[in-house]
Amino acid sequence: MDSAWGPCFRISRDPEAFGHPADLDDRAKAELVKEVRTTFMEKKFPAMMQLLTAALEKTGAFLCGPDPTVADCQMLPTIRYYMRGIADFVPTDCVDAFPVVKAYVDRCLALPALQAHYAGKK
pLDDT digits (tens, 9 = 90+) for 21-40: 888 899 999 999 999 999 99
pLDDT greater than 90 at residue 121: no
pLDDT tens digits, one per residue of 64-103: 999 999 999 999 999 999 999 999 999 999 999 999 999 9
Domain 2-118 in this protein, CATH class: mainly alpha
3-class state of residue 65 by DSSP = strand
What integer best gives the mean pLDDT of the chain? 93
- In angstroms, rounded to a whole number, what is the distance separating the alpha carbons of residues 73 and 85? 20
What lies within 8 Å, CB to CB, of 108 at 6+ separation is 62, 68, 72, 76, 114
pLDDT of residue 122: 57
Give the model's pLDDT for residue 107.
97
Residue 62 β-bridge partners: 65
Q: Sketch the domain layout of the chain as residue ranges.
A: 2-118
The single-letter DSSP state of residue 18 is G
Report which residue type is found at 48: M
